[in-house]
């Protein structure tokens, strides 16, 4: 790299989504010179890019926000339980304006590489505008689901229609009316967009690889009284969020699904189904993710709902999932299964009849050819490590993160925030943290607060360099994996395990599943014990080394 050093900062944050914005706010509040770099033209992160029809969040809005500022909690009012993407993006814009963050964000700028400079104990960070900047600390707020996955279908270049990925959607409205549309993928993005696209398109063909369990979102406008009560009780809500497994204020029934009779169970599931939302997974039984038999009761309940909803039994059969419920990310829907009762929708099983190639006029499977004007890839993301590997991050001996983690096969972190060999480097929502299985904004706040407290400690103690010890990260990674192995998660191929990406090696389970309260406690203990598990080097020690 022969690039000029523009200037020098205490902290560089990569990204200006939920994570980057709060990190910038907090580090700046603490008196550190901080700048965030963001590839988009504006704030929002995934909520800036994911503008596909029907895009919503699967955490209820009153919880899917920051909790650090009482003022912000009181000022902002969500319109409905699961508002669409534009409202979430407006919220992030409001937050950025309220705290005057834009002046310290450089937009339209991608961080391409970062090298740790051993001599000065600083990061040299390279940008796609051919400049670079030096910072003492490098913090990634790149998200877990921001590196889009477009399967390598033969012939895509030859396609004469339009094609889009849900996670990189054009800012202008895509017009589906009168068009023959194909959607590949039936994860959250497919399930959210399919019912909306079906209403407009002349014909919609869904290319399904794995059927999914979806529970109704039952979105509705919030009643002003409900909003008032929520705002009055936010401290209590926050306490519940911080003390629940998934950082949402849900408490599961304190019993196994198998302790109830089939009648009692049906009632519990039916109530949860009628309420809709993330409570079906989070507030029914406490062993759905541990016991195959318990899990099957929830899975079969949903399968029966699919059988009841979809009129054509052959189509219903194709839609029945077989994996353990909630071991792929649980999905909320708005008339997803009902959409298959429409005359203009065709469901294909591409496990049985695989996509062979994209042709100039559409998609050819092993058995047939489908003419399409628009092709939508709802094919997900290279999760967790994908966004980190897009940046060439070189640690103290020059090894990149991608090399150290062997393309993901040997991902190792300490507390999901740091990794050995990469000093003064912190990941917000990194692998082996609970973040993607928790309510993400809350998980982000906890990470940023921990990192900020750590940086303050280093500054107070004149410590120049902090680095996870190898044995500490090995123990954390092993512990993280052990916790996961006691659950049903590793038994299912999913983006959690990397199985959705062709050729991505799978390693240990990359999400900490002991729950948010236990995780917080572990992080706090490490801090209280003077950052146990880290090497720390004071200024004067550099000469001794």
Cβ atoms of 310 and 337 within 8 Å: the answer is: yes
Residue from the set 15, 40, 54, 185 that interacts with ligand NA7 by CB under 6 A: 185
Residue from the set 28, 115, 329, 465 that interacts with ligand NA7 by CB under 6 A: 329
| Binding track over 357-396 against ligand NA7, x by CB under 6 A | ---------------------xxxx---------------
Residue from the set 67, 121, 140, 166 that interacts with ligand NA7 by CB under 6 A: 166
Does 284 participate in binding ligand NA7 (rule CB under 6 A)? Answer: no
Does 350 participate in binding ligand NA7 (rule CB under 6 A)? Answer: yes
Residue from the set 65, 109, 146, 186 that interacts with ligand NA7 by CB under 6 A: 186
Cβ atoms of 272 and 284 within 8 Å: the answer is: yes
CB of 30 to ligand NA7, least distance (A): 31
Residue 477, phi then psi, degrees to nearest 5? -65, -40
Kindly report the length of the chain.
545
Cβ atoms of 372 and 181 within 8 Å: the answer is: yes
Does 468 participate in binding ligand NA7 (rule CB under 6 A)? Answer: no
Does 210 participate in binding ligand NA7 (rule CB under 6 A)? Answer: yes
What is d(CA 405, CA 138) in angstroms, rounded to the nearest whole number? Answer: 18
Q: How many residues bind ligand NA7 (CB under 6 A)?
A: 22
Residue from the set 53, 141, 190, 430 that interacts with ligand NA7 by CB under 6 A: 190
Does 189 participate in binding ligand NA7 (rule CB under 6 A)? Answer: yes
Does 143 participate in binding ligand NA7 (rule CB under 6 A)? Answer: no
Taking the least distance from each CB to ligand NA7, the nearer of 156 and 527 is 156
State which residue has the least CB distance to ligand NA7. Answer: 187
Q: Where are the beta strands (DSSP E) in 141-271?
A: 162-165, 180-184, 203-208, 214-216
Does 54 participate in binding ligand NA7 (rule CB under 6 A)? Answer: no
Taking the least distance from each CB to ligand NA7, the nearer of 113 and 350 is 350
Does 187 participate in binding ligand NA7 (rule CB under 6 A)? Answer: yes
What is the torsional sign of CA 312, 313, 314, 316? positive
Cβ atoms of 193 and 183 within 8 Å: the answer is: yes
Does 495 participate in binding ligand NA7 (rule CB under 6 A)? Answer: yes
Residue from the set 61, 67, 124, 188 that interacts with ligand NA7 by CB under 6 A: 188
Taking the least distance from each CB to ligand NA7, the nearer of 185 and 441 is 185
Taking the least distance from each CB to ligand NA7, the nearer of 214 and 451 is 214
Q: Where are the beta strands (DSSP E) in 217-267?
A: none
Q: How many CB atoms within 10 Å of residue 455?
A: 23
Residue 227, phi then psi, degrees to nearest 5? -65, -45
* Neighbour-count burial for 336-348, b at 16+ CB within 10 Å, e otherwise: bbebbeeeebebb
State both tokens at 461: 């103690």
State both tokens at 400: 């990149």
Does 439 participate in binding ligand NA7 (rule CB under 6 A)? Answer: no
What is d(CA 325, CA 345) in angstroms, rounded to the nearest whole number? Answer: 26
β-pairing, 374-377 vs 180-184, is parallel
What is d(CA 473, CA 97) in angstroms, rounded to the nearest whole number? Answer: 38
Does 282 participate in binding ligand NA7 (rule CB under 6 A)? Answer: no
Site for ligand NA7, residues 497 to 516, rule: CB under 6 A: 500
Q: How many CB atoms within 10 Å of residue 239?
A: 12
Task: Give the footprint of ligand NA7 on this chain (CB under 6 A).
Answer: 145, 151, 166, 184-190, 207, 209-210, 329, 350, 355, 378-381, 495, 500
């Amino acid at each position: 790299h022969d690039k000029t050093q523009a200037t020098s900062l205490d902290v560089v944050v990569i990204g200006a989504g939920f994570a980057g914005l709060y990190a910038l706010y907090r580090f700046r509040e603490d008196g550190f010179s901080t700048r965030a770099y963001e590839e988009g033209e504006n704030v929002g992160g995934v909520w800036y890019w994911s503008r596909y029809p029907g895009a919503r969040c699967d955490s209820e809005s009153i919880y899917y926000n920051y909790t650090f500022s009482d003022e912000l909690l009181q000022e902002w009012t969500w319109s409905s339980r699961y508002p669409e993407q534009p409202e979430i993006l407006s919220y992030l814009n409001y937050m950025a304006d309220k705290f005057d963050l834009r002046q310290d964000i450089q937009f339209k700028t991608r961080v391409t590489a970062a090298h740790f400079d051993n001599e000065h104990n600083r990061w040299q960070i390279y940008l796609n505008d051919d400049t670079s900047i030096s910072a003492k600390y490098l913090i990634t707020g790149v998200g877990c689901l921001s590196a889009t996955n477009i399967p390598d279908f033969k012939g895509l270049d030859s396609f004469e229609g339009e094609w889009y990925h849900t996670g990189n959607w054009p800012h202008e409205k895509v017009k589906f009316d009168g068009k023959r549309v194909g959607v590949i993928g039936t994860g959250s993005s497919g399930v959210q967009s399919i019912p909306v696209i079906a209403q407009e398109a002349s014909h919609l063909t869904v290319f399904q690889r794995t059927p999914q369990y979806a529970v109704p979102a039952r979105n509705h406008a919030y009643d002003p009284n409900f909003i008032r009560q929520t705002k009055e009780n936010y401290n209590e809500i926050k306490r519940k969020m911080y003390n629940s497994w998934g950082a949402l204020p849900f408490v599961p029934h304190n019993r196994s699904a198998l302790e109830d009779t089939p009648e009692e169970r049906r009632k519990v599931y039916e109530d949860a189904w009628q309420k809709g939302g993330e409570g079906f997974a989070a507030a029914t039984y406490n062993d759905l993710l541990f016991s195959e038999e318990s899990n099957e009761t929830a899975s079969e309940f949903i399968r029966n709902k699919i059988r009841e909803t979809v009129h054509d039994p052959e189509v219903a059969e194709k839609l029945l999932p077989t994996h353990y419920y909630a071991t792929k990310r649980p999905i909320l829907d708005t008339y997803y299964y009902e959409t298959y009762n429409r005359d203009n929708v065709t469901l294909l099983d591409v496990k049985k009849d695989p996509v062979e190639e994209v042709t100039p006029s559409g998609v050819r499977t092993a058995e047939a050819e489908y003419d399409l004007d628009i092709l939508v890839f709802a094919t997900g993301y290279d999760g967790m490590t994908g966004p980190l590997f897009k940046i060439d991050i070189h640690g103290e001996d020059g090894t990149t993160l991608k090399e150290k983690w062997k393309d993901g096969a040997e991902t190792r972190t300490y507390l999901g925030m740091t990794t050995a060999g990469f000093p003064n480097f912190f990941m917000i929502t990194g692998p082996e943290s609970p973040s993607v299985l928790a309510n993400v904004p809350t998980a982000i706040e906890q990470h940023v607060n921990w990192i900020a407290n750590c940086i303050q400690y280093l500054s107070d103690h004149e410590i120049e360099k902090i680095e996870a010890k190898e044995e500490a990260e090995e123990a954390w990674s092993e512990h993280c994996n052990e916790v996961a192995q006691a659950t049903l998660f590793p038994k299912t191929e999913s983006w959690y395990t990397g199985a959705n990406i062709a050729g991505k090696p799978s390693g240990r389970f990359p999400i900490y599943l002991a729950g948010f309260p236990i995780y917080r406690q572990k992080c706090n203990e490490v801090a209280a014990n003077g950052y146990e598990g880290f090497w720390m080097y004071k200024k004067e020690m550099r000469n001794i080394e």
